[in-house]
Amino acid sequence: MPGFELFSDLERKEVHDVLDNGVLMRYGFDGMRNGHWKAKALESELSKTFQSKHVQLVSSGTAAVSVALASVGIGAGDEIIMPTFTFVASFEAIMMLGAIPVLVDIDDTLTLDPKAVEAAITPKTKGVMVVQMCGSMGDMDALKSVCDKHNLIFVEDACQAIGGSYKGQPLGSIADLGCFSFDFVKTITCGEGGAVVTNNKDYYINSNHYSDHGHDHIGNDRGAETHPFLGYNFRISELHAAVGLAQVRRLPEFIAIQKKNYSIIRDALSQISEVTFRRVPEGGEESYAFLNFFLPDAESGLKVAEAFKTNGIDVCWNYYHNNWHYIRKWDHLKELKSLFPISKEVKEGLQYLKTKTFEQSDHFIARNISCLIKLSWTEEEVKLRAEKMVKVIMEHI
């Protein structure tokens, strides 16, 4: 991760196809295309990759979450339970629909704690969104049981976990709907792009229409299409889809490289008794895009993360003070800093953030270090990196 590290003639060929016929838009202009439909082809490839019936490409992972929630009728005043550790896009996508993000604690999987989810359910709760952060997964059976028990929509944000699996199912294909990002730093990149994945035909049709101004996409005259309901523009372009089409065909190659590099570093860190690793639920396999480990306490976690920086060990983070990925620094959410007026429902629904604390999440995040696994490293570079990491950790715990 990320896929841009290994761009090749395969990506260039797909992009040249689009430039040669001149049609950059995914819909219409049938006669000019010379048979090239990159978005359609990518959706077909992703359907096979995710072992899912339906895939709707959109403009980003953020758009994917909003489109997925809209496709099941989530809107004003509805509550969606989500984790404290994720990317800001998770709550942005919920709030864009006028819905209320209800943040709850994570556990040692670094994803939603099923007990915290159950405790947060109210009469306004309509769905639960697990975020498969840093290439791994939550306790999917337990989370699904909670959703089934309370008749809640189960959404899987697998934006950082393409290539991972749980009990033989690809991450992103397990919940009612799955969401993916193909932005520039994902294992599969389109530059910008995302996807909604589902086996439910109605959810797919709704996402298909909603992401293109409500167009029903019936017939071959775009100007004559009807609009069954309101929609917005979350389309992906043919150029972005072309890059992703080449990349998704290379996913097994990318995952194999990630696994090799991940395993070298993990084996080295396993020699340190004070280091423990994030829990992967039984039956799960990570995507190996990140290596996440815990140190004994918050102080050592912060010290080692800083020492990694000063010793030239890059792409390793302790998220406790991170502005993008953890609740502690999301002041713009807590204080509702918005360019436009926030609805009464959302204002009232987010009042809990003024006093809510997340000690359990702090316990895990402060001790955690998350290391990106690059595709471009040579085996020698990975081994040297592992040796340096071991040395630095031993010096600071």
Q: What is the DSSP string of 60-99?
A: -HHHHHHHHHHHTT--TT-EEEEESBS-THHHHHHHTTT-
d(CA 191, CA 244): 8
Q: Pick the catalytic residue: 186, 201, 334, 347? A: 186
Which tokens sit at 223? Answer: 């100007």
Cα angle 336-101-196, degrees, rounded to a multiple of 5: 120
Which tokens sit at 199? Answer: 């086996």
* E strand residue ranges, the chain: 54-58, 79-83, 100-104, 125-131, 153-157, 165-166, 169-170, 177-181, 194-198, 276-277, 284-285, 290-294, 316-317, 368-372
- Cα end-to-end distance, the chain, whole Å: 29
Query: Is the link from the previous residue into 228 a cis peptide, with omega within 30 of 0?
Result: no
Cα angle 121-126-129, degrees, rounded to a multiple of 5: 85
Answer yes or no: 38 catalytic: no
Name the nearest CA neighbour of 196 among 54, 99, 88. 54
Dihedral (Cα; 59, 62, 63, 64), 10-degree rounding: 100
d(CA 298, CA 314): 20
d(CA 50, CA 165): 10
Cα angle 178-181-187, degrees, rounded to a multiple of 5: 110
> So which residues are the catalytic ones?
186
